Structure 1
Amino acid sequence: MSDNDGKKTLGVRGGGPRSGNVKQSFSHGRTKNVVVETKRKRIVKPKLGTAQRDPAKGGGQTSSGGANRPAGISDAEMERRMKALQAAKLREAEETARREAEEQAREEERQRRRQEAEAKEREQREAEERLRAKADEEERQRKATEEAVNLAAAPAPEAAPAARPTPTKQPPRRGETPERDQKSRSRAKGRDDGRRSGKLTLNQALSGGEGGRQRSLAAMKRKQERARQKALGGHEAREKIVRDVRLPEAITVGELAVRMAERVADVVKALMQSGIMATQNQVIDADTAELIIEEFGHRVTRVSDSDVEDVIDQIEDKDEDMRPRPPVITVMGHVDHGKTSLLDAIRNATVVEGEAGGITQHIGAYQVQTDSGALLTFLDTPGHAAFTSMRARGAQVTDIVVLVVAADDSVMPQTIEAINHAKAAKVPMIVAINKCDKPEANPDKVRAELLQHEVVVEAMSGEVQDVEVSATTRQGLDELLESIALQAEILELKANPDRPAEGAVIEAQLDVGRGPVATVLVQRGTLRQGDIFVVGEQFGKVRALINDRGDRVKEAGPSVPVEVLGLNGTPEAGDVLNVVETEAQAREIAEYRHNAAKEKRAAAGAATSLEQLLAQAKENENVKELPILVKADVQGSAEAIIQAMEKVGNEEVRVRVLHSGVGAITESDIGLAEASGAPVFGFNVRANAPARASANQKGVEIRYYSVIYDLVDDVKAAASGLLGSEIRENFIGYAEIREVFKVSGVGKVAGCLVTEGVARRSAGVRLLRDDVVIHEGTLKTLKRFKDEVAEVQSGQECGMAFENYEDIRQGDVIEIFEREEVERELQ
């Protein structure tokens, strides 16, 4: 097949013709071998001056270029040469383009550098012009000052003759028009002198004067002031001001310079002369600083960090400023003896209905006005054993203690604690024998039992007043109020209301809508809305005052309980509130107290030695812990729960409170509980929505309580689950070995007589020889005659074989016992 048939040909490398066999397939399975000759088309771009090859002419010869081809060169070689030529031309063109681009880039770079150099030279010229103008201005001022000095020093001119047409000129004073006229006249001369004084070089302009720094505005003012002083009064130096420098235990060099009103560089120089290399930010001790202060001629006042609290006014109240104040009465007694009910009867209120479980779990503060018009402030403290510290705080701020004792229950443990608190606070006591309306009431028994605790009532010829009352029938309430008024009159309670307020925090809580809220009993002074105060480690500004009835008031005087809003954090119950002048003082005192408490806690932790840590770790190695998290509504309840948790446990199990706080259960509490595997106990608080979702996702248990009894009981039950079960042994029988037999396949078998109880195969056995235990194990077999049995009764014979033990002898005694596990509980 030729190339002119119009059909496709197979290209063969090499250019020459070549033959080949192609097998064709047809229908009905017929095939045919065809000989095919293939030719390769040759495409060569001719050189200039040569014509294109005509494919119709055989051999691929050119029409006119055949004579230009060297002899002996094939078409393939010619084609390769043409391609190499084209590639060389292409590379030459690319190289030319690249050189042109580089040349253009270099030209642009030269142009940019030329412009930058021109701009820099222009800026330098402008800077030189500004500095030259500044130097001219300074020279003009200097010339004007010298002329003013000369005019001031010259003697007064003699009076001119009358015929002289021009009046004599007085010496010009500073700020007047003649001086400005003199300056304007000398301006041209000053400019010329400034120009002749020497040109300002570029190095001088860039260096900015001596030390590489330009003079500040303050330096220029000091220079002008010196020139003015020199012009007016001569060369006398200013008198040095001696200052009283308050020096704390440690101070930085910069702060020391500020307190002395001296330059930092001078202080650093003085330290260097003393052999101390220090920068302005370094801290130096008080002794070194005292030497530097004395060297500069100032007086030293040594103070300590705690002196920040000196701003709290320690005012000595004068007798003429004292005014009568209401007494503060604390109601104490055993739980469920009717303290809150008695107070309700006095207040004609129903406070007890608001307490969960009918018991008081917070310290309540109320004011009551008697029929005679006298005001009484009552503190209602809880009587439960967990609230010992709260009762102690109640006794610290009180004037009179009313000890409530139930006539049907008499003196109880918490009654004795209340008596001890009252004695420790050295406050008078009034005994209110409650529940006298009950048939089983026995007031005389109460009086007799109080004698055992050195409380002698008036009915027993003592000095302590006692009143029989009933909160239900209101019996004896008037008599109780009269006794309180009589005791208050004897005490002659007075306070100065016209001074900054001082009070004690009775209770503190974190309210969701109002923020931190503290119940404060004002003891001295008057607390007003807008006062700035510090309380413990917290501070704030009184945003609102709310009395015990829930009404807003503008101020609270001595012995008035109020809720204070506006704190920056929740204080501790028992903290003292003091009013200060500025918020900066309050913040400084709060920060000092916070840092001191933090250092105290860190010191307490660091005081433990390595031996103590190892001993403690060894001691706690076998102690199991139940971690819990506690969140409560008020600070006092959280403290009471923690104290109750510390009493739960024994030498094997104990409860560890990982974290306690006031306010709602938050997502961070849930994260801490998940990390430690602890449940979260909420006392009169609830978890917010993110915390609930996180607890459900992480599987953290949240329990809510409103009565402290239930919380303590549940924790005891949970801690009891950590106790190991107690194994008890019950002896069920004894058997005596009468004979020992050897049985093939079994070993030694003891022929026994059950002398007491019963022998069971499932029970444990001990082998006693001369009442000494020589083996403890299990039975391999228990037979009655030839039958395997489960148990053998007393008085019957049997055969026994021990598991893995054959040292049995005639006369040995076998003790049979059973073990049982008994669950233990914390008491």
Structure 2
Amino acid sequence: MSDTDGKKPLGLGGAPRSGQVKQSFSHGRTKSVVVETKRKRVVVPTKPGAAGAAGTGGGSPNLGDPAKRPAGISDAEMERRLTALRAAKAREIADNERRAEEERQREEDRQRRREEIETKEREERERLEALRAKAEEEERAARAEADARVAAAAQRKADVLGTRPRSAEKPAEAKPGPATPAPADAPTNRNQDATGPRGVAAKAPLAPAPQRKTDREREERERSAKAKGDDNRRGGKLTLSAALNGEGGRTRSLAAMKRKQEKARQKAMGFGSKPEKQVRDVQLPETIVISELANRMAERAADVVKSLMKMGMMVTMNQAIDADTAELVIEEFGHKAVRVSDSDVEQVIDSVKDRDEDLQSRPPIVTIMGHVDHGKTSLLDAIRKANVVSGEAGGITQHIGAYQVKTPSGALVSFLDTPGHAAFTSMRARGASVTDIVILVVAADDAVMPQTIEAIHHAKAAKVPLIVAINKMDKHGADATKVRTDLLQHDIVVEAMSGDVQDVELSAKTGMGIDNLLEAIALQAEILELKANPKRAASGAVIEAKLDVGRGPVATVLVQNGTLRKGDIFVVGEQWGKVRALINDQGETVLEAGPSVPVEVLGLSGTPSAGDTLNVVETEAQAREIADYREKAAKDKRAAAGAATTLEQLMAKAKADQSVAELPVLVKADVQGSAEAIVQALEKIGNDEVRVRILHYGVGAITDTDVGLAEASGAPIIGFNVRANASARQSANQKGVEIRYYSIIYDLVDDIKAAASGLLKAEVRETFIGYAQIKEVFKVTGVGQVAGCLVTEGVARRSAGVRLLRDSVVIHEGTLKTLKRFKDEVKEVISGQECGMAFERYEDIRPGDVIEIFEREEVQRTLA
């Protein structure tokens, strides 16, 4: 069977020609097909009427003739084709007319625009020609004026010297007689002046030689020439009196004339006019630095200082002035003063509400919380495919870690890992306040613990959704049902128990359930519809802060809105700075960080507090002003808190402190969060008798300043994950200052608690050991009164304490001076035996008295 299955190929009649045509389809597919074409047959009518018949075919005569119609074409089909051809022809004519009309309109528009442009260019040329003509006219006038002045000066000079300018000389008339020879000393050079090099007038070109004039006559002649208005260069000697009287002036130089003409030309063309002074509204705080005041007025600082000096104030541009003085200066310069309070400096922080069209989706911020050793960091390691827990001292997390993870689905998630130790309550609260979702990690073999309950409270206070991750399901004895049941006591009802809180069973060790947890996070984030505006000034929260030896203050910032870029100027808490570098969680340097991205920021002026808010501002002056205001406000607040204490309260506190023993310590940690946690833990140590007093705490290495403070206070230095530098170690050895290093907060708290327990007074316990009754009293020489006793109960020991009871009333308490049995000194006497006793420094004993014998022991107390 052939390719065409017995069908004839398509054609238009005539001799066929075969060829290949390449057909194109969607998605880049092509196909080559074989087609046949027939040459067009041209029919020439033989009779005049044939043309009219052919005309019915709309330009195709062979279609209208039934005899020459292609085979297989019916009349109806023929009529349909003729109708289609006529319609196509009509459409073609209409399209041609429309295109012609559009082309005509476009040509008219181009012509109109061309005429407008030519008109504007012609007007501009005419204006420039007029300005140029005016400038040339002024230049000619100025040149003519200068020439006139020069000619007048030359005329006056000729009048004074009795000569004529060469330009005014006329050719001598021919007269009979011998020619008069020119004098030898007459000026022969055209450019030579009529005066000599010393300003002395040359001889006139007369035949007889003139008499030599005296110096007095020359001075009188020069003064008369000046009186007549001679503006030429001065002649003769410049005397002191002439200089003081302003005589001997010069005419304007050619360069000065050119400058004047140039100014006139620029003024004529409109370039020389000074812009009008702009009146500004100057914000004026209570105090302001003079240089900043000049910047706000857009004036020169030197002019502002000059204005203040005219007021009698000898100041420099770096000094501060009060608002009243600054207002006078502002009014003198023609501006308006706008009084603002100190708190108004924070208004420069952008707080504009974002528009809905500017908001874009951002990754969710997820905080992992739970009890210590429940596997929070191990779970994050399993998600990140990292091994952070191996680097943690003691296997516990002691810092907030911020990481960004790309899930298998391609979505980004920012994780915050918080410590679970009881001392890090403030860290957990800080993590919950900046998060979108909280993952509560509970160990299936340990159930709900105290820090688990605390994490639940933090999440509820922050009003963020919870996802319960039941970890360690691979261990023997894991019971997820018990975890879900325990959570019911804290109003946490999981989905497995028909609640609304998602719960996922997983194992961070084996990786089981990790995908389910990521799906739960994605679902919760989709419900929250998290969005932010990345095109505004950045703002974020400081998760952690530390002082690096090589890099200076470093803050871990979680960007919450906007985009933080390298070079941005920012203010964070009481500190400010300019972004010198941004480092992501992988240790790579990046140029910018968008919403929900954690980065380390370098370039701070000092170490901020963890939890402070970072805001980007426009200028360094604004950032410095805001930071100074916040620092001053914090200092005033602390001073006000101290001043609020009355004198009676101070006296009562001083009296109470007399009986309280204090253990002073100095704490240095690696990051701000750890320092705060250690201080909070140490302040809880103690009771009514002893307490721990924090002299100073901070971040960074131990320095000589810390050693000096510790020596003055007799306090040890506690270093948490930091070390003392070489100079500080040597100083500490010389001064006998104790430095203790720790890397685990358990050990630090236990050691400080043990040291504080040493300040407690020992507890004295008294143990009864026997009774003895006095039967008779003897007087022994050299000993004194000796009681003959019978031990009625227990045992009597010489080293024990004794009390003398008379009628069941204690009349003496002391120790024994001697204990004898018969004539021998013994250590103890048992019950039922007789003995002799003598009291130390007491002799008022009587028969019938009872001696109570006891022993005391001291028990060292410890802090709970």
Task: Tell me the TM-score normalized by structure 1.
Answer: 0.69
From the superposition, tell whether residues 240 and 580 of structure 1 become closer, same or farther in structure 2 (CA, over 3 Å).
closer
From the superposition, tell whether residues 752 and 183 of structure 1 become closer, same or farther in structure 2 (CA, over 3 Å).
farther
Displacement of 1:322 in angstroms is 0.7
For the 8 Å contact 1:338–1:406, the answer to whether it is kept is yes
Q: How far apart, in 2, do the equivalents of 1:175 and 1:314 lie?
A: 63
Q: How far apart, in 1, do the equivalents of 2:541 and 2:768 lie?
A: 65
User: Which residue identity is paired with 2:563?
Assistant: T
Q: Secondary structure of 1:625's match?
A: strand
Equivalent position of 2:484 in the other structure: 447
Q: Secondary structure of 1:410's match?
A: coil
Q: 1:348 aligns with which of 385, 390, 399?
A: 385
Q: 2:816 aligns with which of 776, 779, 785?
A: 779
Pairing 1:557-572 to 2, within 5 Å after superposition:
557-572=594-609
Equivalent position of 2:843 in the other structure: 806
Displacement of 1:617 in angstroms is 2.2
For the 8 Å contact 1:365–1:379, the answer to whether it is kept is yes
Equivalent position of 1:130 in the other structure: none
From the superposition, tell whether residues 610 and 733 of structure 1 become closer, same or farther in structure 2 (CA, over 3 Å).
same
Pairing 1:507–2:473 present: no
For the 8 Å contact 1:766–1:776, the answer to whether it is kept is yes
1:178-227 alpha-carbon deviations (Å, 9 max, x no partner):
5555776899999749999xxx999x989xxxxxxxxxxxxxxxxxxxxx
Displacement of 1:177 in angstroms is 3.3
Pairing 1:600–2:566 present: no
Displacement of 1:786 in angstroms is 3.6
For the 8 Å contact 1:629–1:681, the answer to whether it is kept is yes
Equivalent position of 2:442 in the other structure: 405
User: Which residue identity is paired with 1:530?
Assistant: G
The worse-fitting range, judged by mean Cα deviation, of 372-381 and 304-313 is 304-313
Displacement of 1:802 in angstroms is 1.7
Q: How far apart, in 1, do the equivalents of 2:750 and 2:547 lie?
A: 26
Pairing 1:696–2:696 present: no
Displacement of 1:292 in angstroms is 9.3
Q: How far apart, in 1, do the equivalents of 2:229 and 2:694 lie?
A: 83
Pairing 1:99-248 to 2, within 5 Å after superposition:
176-178=142-144, 180=146, 192=227, 243-248=280-285
Q: Which runs of 5+ in 2 are unaligned?
A: 1-135, 157-224, 232-238, 246-274
Equivalent position of 1:680 in the other structure: 717
Q: Which runs of 5+ in 1 are unaligned?
A: 1-169, 207-237, 272-276
Displacement of 1:255 in angstroms is 8.7
Q: 1:769 aligns with which of 806, 824, 835?
A: 806
Q: Secondary structure of 1:722's match?
A: coil
Q: Secondary structure of 2:622's match?
A: helix
1:578-609 alpha-carbon deviations (Å, 9 max, x no partner):
22223333233333333333333344444444
From the superposition, tell whether residues 613 and 783 of structure 1 become closer, same or farther in structure 2 (CA, over 3 Å).
same
Pairing 1:618–2:655 present: yes
From the superposition, tell whether residues 653 and 408 of structure 1 become closer, same or farther in structure 2 (CA, over 3 Å).
same
User: Which residue identity is paired with 1:625?
Assistant: E
From the superposition, tell whether residues 285 and 193 of structure 1 become closer, same or farther in structure 2 (CA, over 3 Å).
farther
Pairing 1:249–2:278 present: no
From the superposition, tell whether residues 180 and 770 of structure 1 become closer, same or farther in structure 2 (CA, over 3 Å).
farther
Q: Secondary structure of 2:403's match?
A: strand
Equivalent position of 1:525 in the other structure: 562
Q: Secondary structure of 1:620's match?
A: helix
1:489-513 alpha-carbon deviations (Å, 9 max, x no partner):
1100001111121111111112222
The worse-fitting range, judged by mean Cα deviation, of 524-533 and 494-503 is 524-533
Pairing 1:821–2:858 present: yes
1:244-274 alpha-carbon deviations (Å, 9 max, x no partner):
34232346999989978898898999x9xxx
From the superposition, tell whether residues 487 and 597 of structure 1 become closer, same or farther in structure 2 (CA, over 3 Å).
same
Q: Secondary structure of 2:658's match?
A: coil
For the 8 Å contact 2:290–2:304, the answer to whether it is kept is no
For the 8 Å contact 1:172–1:179, the answer to whether it is kept is no
Displacement of 1:398 in angstroms is 0.3
For the 8 Å contact 2:153–2:230, the answer to whether it is kept is no
Displacement of 1:400 in angstroms is 0.5
Equivalent position of 2:493 in the other structure: 456
Q: How far apart, in 2, do the equivalents of 1:259 and 1:542 lie?
A: 25
Pairing 1:651–2:688 present: yes
Equivalent position of 1:580 in the other structure: 617
1:551-594 alpha-carbon deviations (Å, 9 max, x no partner):
22222111111122222322221121222223333233333333
Pairing 1:327-342 to 2, within 5 Å after superposition:
327-342=364-379
From the superposition, tell whether residues 631 and 174 of structure 1 become closer, same or farther in structure 2 (CA, over 3 Å).
farther
Displacement of 1:334 in angstroms is 0.8
From the superposition, tell whether residues 760 and 180 of structure 1 become closer, same or farther in structure 2 (CA, over 3 Å).
farther
Q: How far apart, in 2, do the equivalents of 1:771 and 1:815 lie?
A: 10
From the superposition, tell whether residues 292 and 525 of structure 1 become closer, same or farther in structure 2 (CA, over 3 Å).
closer
Displacement of 1:614 in angstroms is 2.9
User: Which residue identity is paired with 2:143?
Assistant: T
Q: How far apart, in 2, do the equivalents of 1:721 and 1:391 lie?
A: 33
From the superposition, tell whether residues 483 and 250 of structure 1 become closer, same or farther in structure 2 (CA, over 3 Å).
same
Displacement of 1:422 in angstroms is 0.7
Q: How far apart, in 1, do the equivalents of 2:503 and 2:511 lie?
A: 16
Equivalent position of 1:214 in the other structure: none
Q: How far apart, in 1, do the equivalents of 2:485 and 2:701 lie?
A: 48
Pairing 1:497–2:534 present: yes
User: Which residue identity is paired with 1:772?
Assistant: V
Pairing 1:642–2:679 present: yes
Q: Secondary structure of 2:681's match?
A: helix
Q: How far apart, in 1, do the equivalents of 2:679 and 2:610 lie?
A: 15
Q: How far apart, in 2, do the equivalents of 1:258 and 1:513 lie?
A: 36
Q: 2:459 aligns with which of 422, 440, 447?
A: 422
Pairing 1:360–2:326 present: no
Percent identity, please.
Answer: 75
Displacement of 1:175 in angstroms is 9.7
User: Which residue identity is paired with 2:474?
Assistant: D
1:113-151 alpha-carbon deviations (Å, 9 max, x no partner):
xxxxxxxxxxxxxxxxxxxxxxxxxxxxxxxxxxxxxxx
From the superposition, tell whether residues 267 and 693 of structure 1 become closer, same or farther in structure 2 (CA, over 3 Å).
closer
Q: How far apart, in 2, do the equivalents of 1:264 and 1:565 lie?
A: 37
Q: How far apart, in 2, do the equivalents of 1:735 and 1:175 lie?
A: 142
1:639-673 alpha-carbon deviations (Å, 9 max, x no partner):
11111111222222222222222222222222222
For the 8 Å contact 1:330–1:379, the answer to whether it is kept is yes
For the 8 Å contact 1:402–1:431, the answer to whether it is kept is yes
Pairing 1:660–2:691 present: no
From the superposition, tell whether residues 392 and 740 of structure 1 become closer, same or farther in structure 2 (CA, over 3 Å).
same
From the superposition, tell whether residues 323 and 799 of structure 1 become closer, same or farther in structure 2 (CA, over 3 Å).
same
1:428-482 alpha-carbon deviations (Å, 9 max, x no partner):
1111111122222222222222222222222333222222221122222222111
Equivalent position of 1:370 in the other structure: 407
Displacement of 1:407 in angstroms is 1.6
Q: How far apart, in 1, do the equivalents of 2:140 and 2:580 lie?
A: 56
